[in-house]
Amino acid sequence: GNSVTQMEGPVTLSEEAFLTINCTYTATGYPSLFWYVQYPGEGLQLLLKATKADDKGSNKGFEATYRKETTSFHLEKGSVQVSDSAVYFCALTSMDSSYKLIFGSGTRLLVRP
Amino acid sequence: NAGVTQTPKFQVLKTGQSMTLQCAQDMNHEYMSWYRQDPGMGLRLIHYSVGAGITDQGEVPNGYNVSRSTTEDFPLRLLSAAPSQTSVYFCASRVDGYNSPLHFGNGTRLTVT
């Protein structure tokens, strides 16, 4: 079946540090991959997406590359800010007729000044 | 532009009580869905709908009912609340297509005592 595995948090970094949040997936077919971000007290917001192998999604300084050979979609940012503190979710679209979105368990990021 | 609106924001129920969580979207999205978010488990799909009059079960449908009489509204009903249904509930919608991102409401925090 389809599933998404994320690194456990929390991840604690100092401001301007480099960020990597690992995400691997299991899926049939060629799913689309997403990163969502959830700020405290809010719903999830789309951060970036990639729809085919070797695509790179990017937004607000965050990047992730769709790696089919390693079934991974790791999230990276070169220099984090305090305002990046949030929970990050990796997700994929199931390729059955429902196109359901399947989420990982989320990784909390805390950036200290 | 309201997007996805959920009401109420908070609710406390006693075991056995019933209630309806409301969800409305003003983006003319065909696809709507309900997720629950529990610590360490990410988001799990409860029910979804691909259009008015069409609903289907997700990963954790037991104890919940849905209906979709209009494109705009997708209420979630708890017929007899149980403590295991204590969670944060999110409604989300999107345009058709597996590449389309979900748009989330801000959630309803439900406590069942």
Taking CB atoms and an 8 Å cutoff, what residues of chain B touch A43? 4, 90, 92, 104-107
User: Nearest chain A Cα to B105, which residue?
Assistant: A43
Cis bond leading into B39, ω under 30°?
Answer: no
Whole-angstrom distance, CA of residue A37 vs CA of residue A48: 9
Q: Assess B19–A contact: CB distance below 8 Å, yes or no.
A: no
Angstroms from B52 CA to nearest CA on chain A: 15
Residue A58 CB contacts under 8 Å (≥ 6 apart), including other chains: A48, A64
Question: Could you say which DSSP state residue B102 is in?
Answer: P
A21, A44, A55, A102: best mutation site toward chain B, by most B Cβ within 10 Å?
A44
Query: How confident is the model at residue B41, as a pLDDT?
Result: 81
Query: How confident is the model at residue A28, as a pLDDT?
Result: 83
CB A103 within 8 Å of CB A11? no
CA distances A22 to A69, A77, B30, B113, Å, are 15, 12, 32, 37
Residue B54 CB contacts under 8 Å (≥ 6 apart), including other chains: B68
Using DSSP, state whether B97 is helix, strand or coil. Answer: coil
Query: How confident is the model at residue A106, as a pLDDT?
Result: 94
Query: How confident is the model at residue B16, as a pLDDT?
Result: 97
Taking CB atoms and an 8 Å cutoff, what residues of chain B touch A101? 33, 45, 92, 102
Full pLDDT tens readout for chain B, 113 residues: 679 999 999 999 999 999 999 999 999 999 999 999 998 788 999 999 999 999 999 999 999 999 999 999 999 999 999 999 999 999 999 987 777 889 999 999 999 99
Question: Could you tell me the mean pLDDT of each successive run of 10 residues in chain A, 113 residues long?
Answer: 90 97 92 94 93 95 96 97 97 82 94 96
Tokens of A105: 């368990």
Reduce the secondary structure of chain A to three states and give it as a string.
CCEEEECCCCEEEECCCCEEECEEEECCCCCCEEEEEECCCCCEEEEEEECCCCCEEEECCEEEECECCCCECCEEECCCCHHHCEEEEEEEECCCCCCCEEECCCEEEEEEC
Query: How confident is the model at residue B1, as a pLDDT?
Result: 66
